[in-house]
Structure 1
Amino acid sequence: MTGLVHRAWSAARTAGAITPKTPAGYRFRLLGEGACLSFPPGAIFGEEWIEIGDRTLVGERVSISAGMGPGVDLGPHSIVRIGGGCSIGRGSHIVGHHSIDIGDDVFTGPYVYITDQNHVYDDPETPIGRQWPRNKAVVIGSGSWLGTGAVILPGTRIGRQSVVAGGAVVRGEFPDHCVIAGVPARIVRRYSPEDGWHTPGPADPNPLRALRPGA
Structure 2
Amino acid sequence: MPFADKIRRRGRGLASRVVHRGWAWVREAGAISAEQPGPLRFAELGPCTKLAFPQGTIFNEHAIAIGCYCIIGERVSLSAGFAPGLRLGDEPILRIGDGCVIGRDSNIVAHQSIVIEDNVWTGPSVYISDQNHSYDDPHTPIGKQWPRNEPVRIGAGSWIGTGAVILPGADIGRNVVVAANAVVRGHVPDNTVVAGAPAKPVRRWTEAEGWQPPIRTAAPRAIPEGVTHEELLALIGWDLQLPPEAVEAVEAAREDPDPVP
Asked whether the two chains share a fold, i.e. TM above 0.5, the reply is yes
Q: Deviations over 1:69-117 (max 9, x none)?
A: 1101011211100000010000000000000000000000000000000
| 1:26 CA displacement | 5.5
| 1:25 CA displacement | 6.9
Of residues 10, 22, 28, the one that matches 1:14 is: 28
Q: Deviations over 1:110-132 (max 9, x none)?
A: 00000000011111111100001
Provide the residue aligned with 2:41 in structure 1. Answer: 27
1 or 2 for the larger relative contact order (CA 8 Å, sep ≥6)?
Answer: 1
Give me the whole-angstrom Cα distance separating, in 2, the residues matched to 1:23 and 1:43.
15
The structure carrying a bigger helix percent of its residues is 2
Provide the residue aligned with 1:156 in structure 2. Answer: 170
Query: Over the residues paired in the alignment, what is the CA RMSD in angstroms?
Result: 1.2
1:88 aligned to 2:88?
A: no
Q: Secondary structure at the match of 1:65?
A: strand
The gaps in structure 2 that reach 5 residues or longer are 1-14, 215-261
Provide the residue aligned with 1:38 in structure 2. Answer: 52
TM-score in terms of structure 2 length: 0.75
Provide the residue aligned with 2:71 in structure 1. Answer: 57
Aligned residues of 1:118 and 1:135 also touching (Cα < 8 A) = yes
1:2 aligned to 2:21?
A: no
Give me the whole-angstrom Cα distance separating, in 2, the residues matched to 1:188 and 1:15.
44
Of residues 67, 81, 85, the one that matches 1:67 is: 81
- The number of residue pairs the alignment matches comes to 200
Give me the whole-angstrom Cα distance separating, in 2, the residues matched to 1:60 and 1:26.
16
**1:193-204 map, 5 Å:** 193-198=207-212
Provide the residue aligned with 1:178 in structure 2. Answer: 192
Q: Deviations over 1:154-182 (max 9, x none)?
A: 00000000000000011010110000100
| 1:6 CA displacement | 0.3
| Higher radius of gyration, 1 or 2 | 2
Runs of 4+ that moved beyond 4 A: none
Of residues 101, 104, 123, the one that matches 1:109 is: 123
Q: Deviations over 1:183-204 (max 9, x none)?
A: 111111110012111159xxxx
Q: Which letter maps to 1:87?
A: V
TM-score in terms of structure 1 length: 0.91
